[in-house]
Amino acid sequence: MENTIIEQINRIFQGADERNWRKVADVMDNHVMLDYSSMSGSPASSLTPEQITSAWAAFLPGFDRTNHKLTDFKVQVKDDLASVTYSGIADHFYNEKVWTVEGSYTTQLKLTNDIWLVTAHTFHFKQQGGDTTLPSQVSKKMERLTLLENNRKLVDNFFIALESQKFEKLKEVFAENGKQLNPCSPEGFPKGFDGAEGIYKHYSGLTSKFGRMKFPRQIFATEDPGFFFVKFREEFEVKAGGNYENDCLGTFRLENGKVVEYTEYFNQVAVAKAFNIALN
């Protein structure tokens, strides 16, 4: 029984080192009293496994790798409850440097449907060593990566709104004062659209001429998490018959979780033909 309990605890740290968050969550009860106050200063909180793994997943993957070593397990069992104390050393590696944290743990478990699940987990901080600036460096790195991924999804949501013809979603993509620029527009075609409302009106009006709309695309990030390039094709079903196709390049500038400027470059000839515009 003691070995089974210890193995459950080991799975928490193995899962964290492997970035296998399902492995971590599977050994936890519906709520866990998590207490790292001796190190962080934040009070203990009752959290779900998903909340715990989400928080760890937002930090630990920023390191190149981590390695937790646990020793000196002492297990006390009474009926369907267990309390385990043990020592731990955690090495966090980043850019050929290491940050090491030492301390001990108290983990409580409950036998539920023949499975020992963690109900409380407390870390007792002892000391740290190595490069203690690494946590700050990694936090900034992960914040940037999170911003990059969120902005990438927002750019993709622009195309999803058009493909699904849920044009109201465009108001969630663009800032209220956002704008679209069309520098390649032929004579008689708008050079741009102002505001989320104006952009919504333009695209929602396309359904009078076009049916199904597809945008096969590749989204490219840059060093600036608020600026993206997108290479895409417009493949529209023309209601009057036939198809409209065009090769395009778009740039997206984002601020505060919204697109503030979208610039679209396209083939003038294809646009002029689709909208019956005469080219000079």
pLDDT digits (tens, 9 = 90+) for 188-210: 778 999 999 999 999 999 999 89
- 140-274 fold: Nuclear Transport Factor 2; Chain: A, (3.10.450)
pTM over 0.85: no
- Dihedral of CA atoms 190, 193, 199, 205 in degrees, nearest 10, equals -20
Q: What is the pLDDT of residues 209-244, one digit of tens each?
A: 899 999 999 999 999 999 999 999 999 998 988 888
Pairing of strands 210-214, 28-35: unpaired
pLDDT band at 16 (very low <50, low <70, confident <90, very high): very high
| Higher per-residue pLDDT: 275 or 103 | 103
pLDDT band at 1 (very low <50, low <70, confident <90, very high): confident
Average pLDDT (26-35) is: 98
In the chain, CATH 3.10.450.50 sits at 2-132, 140-274
Q: What is the pLDDT of residues 111-139, one digit of tens each?
A: 999 999 999 999 999 999 999 999 999 99
Average pLDDT (162-167) is: 96
- 2-132 fold: Nuclear Transport Factor 2; Chain: A, (3.10.450)
Q: Which residues pair with 265 in a beta bridge?
A: 249
Residue 129 CA to residue 134 CA, distance in Å, equals 11
Residue 12 CA to residue 120 CA, distance in Å, equals 12
Q: What is the pLDDT of residues 257-274, one digit of tens each?
A: 999 999 999 888 777 777
pLDDT, the chain, mean: 95
Predicted confidence (pLDDT) at residue 278 exceeds the cutoff of 70: no
Pairing of strands 210-214, 217-221: unpaired
> In the prediction, which pLDDT does 96 show?
96
Q: What is the pLDDT of residues 46-89, one digit of tens each?
A: 999 999 999 999 999 999 999 999 999 999 999 999 999 999 99
